[in-house]
Amino acid sequence: MPRFLSLSEAVAACVRDGMSIALEGFTHLIPFAAGHEIIRQGRRDLTLIRMTPDLIYDQLIGMGCARRLIFSWGGNPGVGSLHRLRDAVERGWPRPLELEEHSHAAMASAYHAGAAGLPCAIFRGYYGSDLVGNNPNIRFVTCPFTGEQLAAVPALRPDLAIIHAQRADREGNVLIEGIIGVQKEVVLASRQALVTVEEVVDDLRAPSPNSCILPHWTVDVIAEVPGGARPSYAHGYYGRDNAFYTAWDAISRDRETFLRWMEEHVLGAKGENRR
């Protein structure tokens, strides 16, 4: 059974400098509150893994928490670039960031392989792409049955998965609904899993026998953090704050404006009380 901790206890218990961590969420259920707590606790040298690093990864990178990023699309969806990510890659501020770049198909398959206990993922992909050659982890194998050349990438096995979900029951079973992304795969692929939830309830109220549920024995730590995915969203609880995603472009463009915003909204007292 997972341990039920406060957010700050949970992050202090699970996150160490130098770890590989996947804070996943495909647009939906992005664990912003947990990311902010990692920033407040001053973790360093992290290998951050995520298919779609967006604003919370921009913040972690801009605050100097990350050494390396494994990703497949790093932008502000529908808005443009991630300016802190760009600044780190183009100018090494606040520190250089190593990139391991994949396609979505590769990352999704690599999580799937990690969850399935396979050493690598095999798929049809990367045809003619210059990503091959710039990422030594993209290789090719020959199908033993047909002779076809297939792309291969190593399975993803993060030290720690962090996801946000709608709810957990008191035993620690976790329900995920809506756009479920790679939430299940990342938890099963990782050595440890920290799950923040909108609420802890007596009855999970799973709507279908086929609901996406992580049994309690697959999760290590649960923290109840209402609003923990804002400004992304939690299906059935609150919507996506698209106006904030749009506003982030101006906030993050300039180093000083970014640092002031982080000081006011994440590091300061307002940040710690943030729900």
With CA atoms as reference, report the closest residue to 249 among 130, 115, 82. Answer: 82
CB of 140 or CB of 217, closer to other proteins:
140
CB of 10 or CB of 82, closer to other proteins:
82
Give contact residues for other proteins (rule: CB under 8 A): 26-28, 51-52, 71-75, 77-79, 81-82, 85-86, 89-90, 101, 103-105, 108-109, 111-112, 123-131, 134, 148-149, 178-182, 184-185, 212, 233, 235, 239-240, 242-243, 245-246
CB of 46 or CB of 229, closer to other proteins:
229
Least gap, CB of 179 to other proteins (angstroms)? 5
Q: Determine how many CB atoms are found less than 10 A away from the CB of residue 57.
A: 24
Least gap, CB of 53 to other proteins (angstroms)? 9
CB of 212 or CB of 251, closer to other proteins:
212
Least gap, CB of 22 to other proteins (angstroms)? 13
For residue 230, the number of C-alpha atoms closer than 13 Å in the C-beta half-sphere is: 16
What stretches of the chain adopt beta strand conformation (E)?
A: 3-4, 20-23, 46-50, 66-71, 75-76, 80-81, 98-101, 120-123, 139-142, 149-154, 160-169, 174-176, 192-201, 212-214, 221-224
CB of 108 or CB of 223, closer to other proteins:
108
Least gap, CB of 141 to other proteins (angstroms)? 14
| Tokens (6 digits) for 58 | 């921009």
**Token pair 């969850």: residue:** 115
Q: In this structure, are residues 10 and 161 in contact, taking their beta carbons and an 8 Å threshold?
A: no
